[in-house]
Structures are given as C-alpha cells and as structure tokens.
Amino acid sequence: MTYLKNNFKILMILVFLLNGCVSLPGIIKNPSKKEPSSKIISSEYSMNDVGINIIKINSLSDEEIDKLNKDKIDELDFKVKTFQNIYNYKYEYILGPADKVFIDLTDTDDLDGTYLIDQEGMIDLPFIGKVKLDDLTLNEAQNILLQVIQNFYKNPDLQINIEEFNSSKVYIVGAVRNQITINLDQKPIKLIEAAIQANFNPSAADKLYGTKGLLRRDNKVYKIDLLNAFQSNDDKENFYLKKDDVIFIDRNSDAIHVFGEINKPGVYFPNMDYSLTELISTAGLNQLTANAKKVYVIREKYNSFLEVDVFQLNIKNPVNLIAGKKFLLQENDIVFIPPTEIVKWNRVISLLLPQTDLFKSYNPIINNGLETYKEPS
C-alpha cells in the first residue's frame, strides 16, 4: 500500500511540473503553515496533505548547497558488527516441535526409542509422562531428562541424539534471486553460505537485487551488508545464523531514477558522489525536445513524510551548470526533464489528428459537413 501511495504522490508531482508549476488543488508551497491532516493518524493521505517546495538551484549559495549535500538521513547505527551478541554467538541446534530425538537409557531398554516433540514442545515418556524439551540445546535436554528420570531409576546413564531436524529454520527474503527457507541441523551455517544458497553473487552487475538489508533476531533488528561480508576478512560481518533468523535484503537503495526528455532514461547506480551536471552529461539531454530551463530533481524530505523538495535548474544558461556540478544527487532522487511547450502541443495534435482522420473516413455525414462548412464572415 505504501508503494502505491508513494507512486501516486510522485505521479501527481510530475503532473504539477508538466503544467508549468501552476497550483494544483491541495498542493501548497509552504506546508509548515498548514494544519496537520487527521488522515495522517490513520496512515491515509491524499495530495491535499502533500507540500511541495520549489527550490531554484542556481539561486542557492555555496553554503546552502553544501548543507543540502550533507543533509541526509541520520541512520541509527544498528550494524551487526557493533553487537557482540551477534558476532560472538556460537551455534548450537535448538530443539523444537516436529523434531525427533532418540533416547538410549543404559542398563534398561524401558525408555529406548524415538520420540517426536509435539506442538507444545513435549515428548511423552512411558511410565513417566511428558517432559518439555522445546527451546533447549541437546546438552540442556539431556540434563533435564536426567533430572526427571533419576526420580524413577537409580543412577541413570542416558544418551540423546537428534534423528530428524525439522523445527529450526532461517529465512532469506527480499531482493534476492531465490527467496529461500533453510533448514538448520547440527552443522552451523554462516551468513555467506546462506547468501550463496539464495544465489547471491557479489561480482554480479545486476542491480535489480540488493546487497544491504536487515537481520531480525530475537525481536530485534540489525543492519547487514552482504557485500562487506564477502569482501571483508572481519568475521563480525559473517556471523553464525540462529533459529528463526529472518534476513531481509532490500533493493539497492542508492538508485537514482532518470526520465523525461533525455537520451538515456533509466535507473542509475553511481558508486560515488554524483552531481546533477554529471548525470545530465551521462544521460544526455534531448536537444530537440527537452525544456532546458526546467531540469527537476524530486526529493522526499527525510524528516517529513508529506513534504517534497523539487529542485529546479535552468541549464539553458550554461553558467548554471557550475551550480549543477556542486549539487550532489542522493539515493532515491528522481531527475525529470519535461518537454518544451511546443513539443507538448505537437504531441497533443499528433494524438488528435488520427482521430479526425478516422471520423472523416468512416462517417460520410461528418465528412460532408466538413466539406460544406464555411467560417462565418
């Protein structure tokens, strides 16, 4: 739903820009003066709630451009490598429902056999009753069983092994080639091995898939970077996975979306600071159709869900390309170059003309009317 809302919001902004920045109903230039909408509370909004700030890049001072370049999201530092409980975790299989364990009691075969852990995490021992083994390691389960059995047998010696591993799973979802569920057993698995199973390729040039994401463990969330895990020798990045871990890989968030009257529209993934002027020279302005006076950069404000900054650069004056070179693009920016007024008019005419030809060909009454009609004097 959020995806659709964001797309709708961007679509309306583009309509706003295509119409020469005339006022649309509900769109405001100074949203701070508007009372907050009650729709925000219910997580619903319309274009009546969105504020659009038009900012001319060539009118900004160097200090203001520097501030904009630095004014990015202050991300909380939830990186995995900063948490000892993650990178110091030593893997042990955790028992759970649907696992099967084999119990061997020395000196007697009263309890020998295979037991299924039920949905309540219990096994049912003959003559003794139910014993809870859920969420225990094998050693912990052995100690619990000995405590229970010694009430019925003198000096019991017990061995327990896992026959079937069915309860411990980790999940890899999101922007990966294969979204998979991995069944854990007694062999530990690290992040890199799991990523390989999901067909992650650190050397692939395909940007449709992500490299960064989140780890959810024990109801807490941590930031991960698959590329760092592959390229770094630091084991803190390549940690052991634990039962019920969820690894979510996001699409590459450093994408810049470019479209409009340009030669090479599409999604760009710059590896370093990338200026608006550099992007224009790479994408190539369509010299015949582009409105060089209105190069737009659409950027959602990180500290306001319902406010959008639209930066405008007039590159018809080549001097303004200097300001464009100082203005750095940010991840998720949308660069849009509208057509000139005459191009917009010509496109409308080109759409209308085939329709009139159609009527003239198939409707003799209209055809005759067109032939006999004269302008009043």
Listed residues 118, 142, 164: the one ending a domain: 164
Same domain, 87 and 184: yes
317-334 pLDDT per residue, tens: 989 999 999 999 887 788
Residue 229 structure tokens:
């895990």
175-203 pLDDT per residue, tens: 888 899 999 999 999 999 999 999 887 76
Q: What is the chain's mean pLDDT, rounded?
A: 77
Same domain, 329 and 355: no
Same domain, 211 and 87: yes
Q: What local confidence, expressed as pLDDT, does residue 355 receive?
A: 47
The reply to whether 330 falls in a domain is yes
Listed residues 132, 164, 196: the one ending a domain: 164
Same domain, 183 and 315: no
The reply to whether 66 falls in a domain is no
Same domain, 197 and 303: no
* Exposed/middle/buried for residue 293 (C-beta within 10 Å: 0-12, 13-18, 19+): middle
Q: Which of 159, 193, 164 is nearest to 91 (CA)?
A: 193
* Structural domain boundaries, residue 140: 100-164
Q: Which of 12, 4, 18 is nearest to 343 (CA)?
A: 18
Residue 157 structure tokens:
């010696």
82-104 pLDDT per residue, tens: 788 888 888 999 999 999 999 99
How much of the chain exceeds pLDDT 70, in percent?
69
pLDDT at 376 over 80: no
Taking the whole predicted model, whether its pTM rises above 0.85 is answered as no
Looking at per-residue pLDDT, the higher value among 268 and 32 belongs to 268
109-142 pLDDT per residue, tens: 888 999 999 999 999 999 899 999 999 999 999 9
Cα–Cα distance for residue pair 284/286, rounded to 1 Å = 6
Same domain, 87 and 182: yes
Same domain, 196 and 319: no
How would residue 72 be classed by pLDDT, with cut points 50, 70 and 90? low
Mean pLDDT, residues 238-260 taken together = 84
Listed residues 211, 229, 249: the one ending a domain: 249
Same domain, 217 and 174: yes
Same domain, 263 and 140: no
The reply to whether 304 falls in a domain is yes
Q: What is the 3-state secondary structure (H, E, C) of 219-232?
A: CEEEEEEHHHHHHC
